Amino acid sequence: MEPYIAVCVQSRIADARNKADVIVNAKHISEWIDAANYVNSMEGTVKIVAFPEGALQGFPDEGLGAMDPDDYYEKVAIDVPGEITDLIGEAAKKNNTFVLVQARVKLPEFSGDYFNAALMISPAGRVIYSTYKHAVYVSEPSTTPHDVYEKWVSTFGNNSFFPVAKTEEIGNYGGIICFERDFPESARGYALNGAEVLYMPSGLEPRVARGIWDLQSRARALDNTCFVLAPNCGPFYSDVQKKSWKPGFICGGRSMIVGYLGEVLAQAVDSQEAFVAAPINIDALRHHRKTSARFNPLINLKTEIYSGIYKESIYPANTRPRSRAEREQALELSRERLEKMKII
């Protein structure tokens, strides 16, 4: 496989409160796909463009003045595939590139719930991959697979939690969204299912200011011998007309692309709208995985000694929290369990 150029777009984030607003944001994403390809094709073939969490819908269901989850489900959450992904797909097709984007989506099997998804759209304009965020902030009302664990497993199976997009053109990809980057288990899950590139969008401040964003992006790459594409959010707005800023929300920018040895290949210097780009060499990664005995954790895993760590349940499954108060109740149960186990 020839090396190719990957681009992370640090796009502005604007809250969408209806379908028309989502279309405005989708068109903005499409314009960025055009621009990213035009500029970076001067260096090499651009094969993938990645966007931050919130680029498509913003965060109107979080923060001050948040939408009711039921209203969000009806007015903002999208069907996949559907009109919105088709719109972005046209830009992917026009530029002959893959696109990675986050969206809060409806699933026909779970009426009334919306899930936070990482999506891959192919150069043919079709959605070819989706995976779902497993860990959310206490104020985030979207549903996770663990919130509906029993139904999720009965519907999709035990092996549905860390799917990987396996492509001949750009290698194998997995998706980890925002708060989920706090859990190294997710990155390892995708890596052990064959991921070679981890799409890790967005991190709310103070992660950037405290160095956490850089640390996690590099650690997940090194720990799993994976490239990491980490597009962070640009400026935040409470509306798609950009008339008012979104109080309390900022991500600090510094979007980055990380190599499989944990080295920073490219990084933005601020939080404005921008992009970063770097070559991705999948063949070099595969050669390293096959030949290196050092900086290659995957071949050194002693799975037998780790398998018992998660024997006891901690965060309660099947609780389906829809508000900050309900998630805080679930966290309190977790604390009580850890106290009984004398961990805290």
pLDDT at position 146 is 97
Q: If you average pLDDT over every residue of the chain, what do you get?
A: 96
- Reported as a single tens digit per residue, the pLDDT across 315-343 is 999 999 988 899 999 999 999 999 999 99
pLDDT at position 244 is 87
- Once rounded to an integer, what is the mean pLDDT over residues 111-132? 98
What's the pTM? 0.97
- Once rounded to an integer, what is the mean pLDDT over residues 259-272? 97
How crowded is the C-beta side of 28, counted as CA atoms within 13 Å?
A: 27
Cis peptide before 108 (omega within 30 of 0): no
Count of beta carbons in the 10 Å neighbourhood of residue 154: 11
Domain ranges of the chain: 4-301, 311-344
CATH code: domain 4-301 is 3.60.110.10
**pLDDT tier at 162 (50, 70, 90 boundaries)?**
very high
Alpha-carbon distance 253 to 43, whole Å? Answer: 24
Give the DSSP H or E segment for 285: helix 282-291
- Once rounded to an integer, what is the mean pLDDT over residues 127-145? 96
pLDDT at position 68 is 95
Residue 242 has pLDDT above 90, yes or no: no
Alpha-carbon distance 305 to 310, whole Å? Answer: 11
Residue 250 has pLDDT above 90, yes or no: no
Beta strand 256-258 with 264-267 is antiparallel
- Reported as a single tens digit per residue, the pLDDT across 19-56 is 999 999 999 999 999 999 999 999 999 999 999 999 99
DSSP labels, 71-129: HHHHHT-B-SSSHHHHHHHHHHHHHT-EEEEEEEEE-TTSTT-EEEEEEEE-TTS-EEE
